[in-house]
A and B are shown apart, each in its own frame.
Chain A
Amino acid sequence: MFDFIQNHILTLIIFIPVIGGLIILFLPERHNLIRWSSLIITLIPFTLSIMLYAGFDRSVSGFSYPGGLQFVERYSWIQAFNIELFLGVDGLSMPMALLCTMLCPLCVLASWGIDKGIKGYFFLFLLLETGMIGVFCALDFFLFFISWEVMLLPMYFLIGVWGGPDREYAAIKFYIYTLIGSLMMLLVIIYMYLSATPHTFDMTRLAQLGAGMEFKTLCWIVLFIGFAIKVPVFPFHTWLPDAHVEAPTAISVILAGVLLKMGTYGMLRVNYMMFPDVTFKMSMFIAVLGMINIIYGAFCAMAQKDLKRLVAYSSISHMGYVLLGMASLTEEGLNGAVLQMFNHGVVAAMLFLLVGVIYDRAHHRRIDGFGGIASVAPNYAVISFLAFFAALGLPGLNSFISEALVLLGAFQKYRIITAVSATGVIITAAYCLWTIQRIFLGKLNEKYAVFPDINAREFISLLPLGILVIVLGIYPHPILALMKPTVRFINNLITGSGI
């Protein structure tokens, strides 16, 4: 039994959610039963991913099999096209998979209040989880694409059916943006498949594709745009605030915590590992985009009146650090970028959960509509302070380390860009503190004289994240150690190809 689990651990992690979802569809329509069973179903992959974490060999690196990839499972799927169920993790995907499986049970907790179409909701949610983990673990490009697209459908419904007042617009906007990106990706994937001899979707083999530079650059740009829509990088970001604001709390958490990372993950996995030489040439371009994201996102966040919109724009800003770190092509920068992906996943999830808590009570999210909440809901305020301080990068909390690493790495290559980006830290501090001041401090808004403090369920959903924020802030080694060899490998690949 244990051996079986050990040998098929990734398959299990990926497919247990969707199978569980199907089971839920056939359960009797009792709300608590469905909630509890979803929670249990999401806890299974989480447990398994802890096993994955424990068994992960931190010393190997490389993008090949046999070689740097671990827990590899490889089954033939469609023979005619050489499509395989080819799964495996390395230092890049391991933290992401961990983040994803960890956030899902918390999101189930955050969705406790859903009562309309509850079966459908949890089925779609679990389908979404399968898709997300699938993207991070897939080593077959076709599987990668399928998983990428499979998330569209549940997202569309989750935002569209269970979202806020403007949900129809937000849902279709999200769908169209992502579909544009993914169809462009599809064309490139097919092209790469056809240029490989023999035709293959195996990502490790496609990484060795020898092709003309012009063609590679074109592929790189198209793929980059496809991923950039998901991140979202500046000109393609407009779907994000709408989707975030309209989505139910748990879905915002997933969006910010996992989906955005899929964009940068895709860039690292595909653009960086498969086209290192093009990446080397394009790094400046990525750095500029990162800088724009940081500054633009921060300024937009500052101007927001809606708390959720503010957090959404802060995500754009924080993802800018990831881009900047990636562009630096130094080990510090890349480590910082990957760590920032994980950290932002934790912090953004926390922030959205907190927004959800306040929205459940006040039924609005206008920042100006509150005041002095700290005095009536002290526990809530403390956790919120923690989250906002983490977001602004207070030393001792997790984001500080990753942002510092990013800036440190990037400064070695792009002095001006990094200097400009660093001002983003100040703007971020400004809007975070200002938000804290407006909501939690100051004169108590009489309307909220009776403001129920955070309850046990909400507390449990926030607690693990809070602990991570503090622990990783002091001791980032558990995550850093996972990615270091792989990051070094990527960096050598790219800098090596550039010479």
Chain B
Amino acid sequence: MNIEIKEIVFISIVLLTIAPCSVVAFSRNILYSAFALFFTFIGTSGLYFFLDADFLAIVQLAVYIGGVLVLLLFAILLTKNIDDIKKTNTISLRRSITAGITVLVLFFSLFFVFLSTGWTPLNGGAAYPNGTIHELGRLILSKYLLPFEIASLLLLAVLIGSLVLAGKTVRQRED
């Protein structure tokens, strides 16, 4: 009985993740797309919980929803008058047809490849740790220390660059 509930929850989270995607792809209102993206991100976070990736789930919530999505909303609101929104998130018909065909072909081919591939267990199917934070922290501070440090430099560069790029606009407005 327990197992069934788990599966029902899983399916509903999957639906929560996938269903809003169609809104992201097809909606003519960019704000709807943004909110749909919000649900997708939440759903993905839920999927991370199912994967026992607790830390990742939290990072997903914090960074994606707290960061990326907010930036996106900022972008929408800064660059649009609210009235326009309904009309402007247009889709190019010609390109959407080609895209649709490509995507369908890719879906079916990859679908069967994924199902048919064995995904052999590695490392003798080593057990998954109970709680990932400790293990992740160890990895990031030992093996992946260099990327970790480099990422900080990258963020610094992005910070400075974005300030200049955005600041330029602000300064020009003042002129």
**Contact flag (A, B; Cβ within 8 A):** no
Instruction: Point out residues on B near A: beta carbons under 8 Å.
Output: none
Instruction: Point out residues on A near B: beta carbons under 8 Å.
Output: none
